[in-house]
Structure 1
Amino acid sequence: MSTLRNIHPGEVLLEEFLIPLEITAYRLAKDTDIPQTRISQILKGKRRITADTAMRFSSYFGNTPQFWLGLQADYDIEEEKRNNAAVFQRIRQRRKTMDTVCEG
């Protein structure tokens, strides 16, 4: 079974927002007061979406900052799983979980 490709938030920005809405990276940068280099790096998958960027995108596109930060978190978690799977497999779960600690 093949693994699905991990999609960077910059690809979502491009494919789901900029292209359909006919917005250029330059226009997005100007309208959101984000440096054009930051927009370009996000679109290339070279830069993360920060809380500041998420706030600006959500104000501009009419969605929530959580949408943008959620995309970034999902991407980051998948990257960690792929890049460090062996490390996480070696970690043993504690017998007593927080649920049992909080019950007592």
Structure 2
Amino acid sequence: MNKKIEPIHPGEILLEEFLIPMEISQYRLAQDISVPARRINEIVLGKRAITADTALRLSEYFGLSERFWLNLQIRYNLEVEKDRLKDRLKREIKKFEKVSYYSVTAEKK
């Protein structure tokens, strides 16, 4: 029985691993990093992606690298697209076949 684990949106990680344990409200975070509260709320709800701008602000605020936040978003995006396109990619893309130097030179003789 293979149960598919749904990709975790970075907003869920922001909420569950940072805001709740640190007792920081979405409003306070938004104020402290100078962004609209709606932006943080939409990220937490999984309706908005973490952009480079937001990643830089979160990294400065929490003392983590901006890549941490962007990598969360990129991994999420890749998993969502992989699930969405997996059958289609197998049908539409012909894999590159590596040709060795020796097979090419043998054909010329």
The answer to whether the superposition gives a TM-score over 0.5 is yes
- Please say if 1:13 is aligned against 2:14: yes
1:14-49 Cα shifts (integer Å, max 9, x gaps): 000000100000000000001101100000000000
Q: CA deviation at 1:85?
A: 1.1
Structure 2: which 5+ residue stretches go unaligned? Answer: 102-109
Look up the match of 1:33.
Answer: 34
Residue segments in structure 1 that go unaligned for 5+ positions in a row? none
4+ residue runs of structure 1 moved beyond 2 angstroms?
Answer: none
Aligned-pair identity (%): 51
Q: State the match for 2:82 in structure 1.
A: 81
Shift of 1:96: 3.9
Q: CA RMSD in A?
A: 1.5
Cα distance in 2 between the residues matched to 1:67 and 1:92: 34
| 1:57-85 alpha-carbon deviations (Å, 9 max, x no partner) | 00000000000000000000000011111
Aligned to 1:94: 96
- Structure 1 position 5, deviation (Å): 1.7
**CA distance in structure 2 between the aligned counterparts of 1:32 and 1:74, rounded to whole angstroms:** 24
1:64 aligned onto 2:65: yes
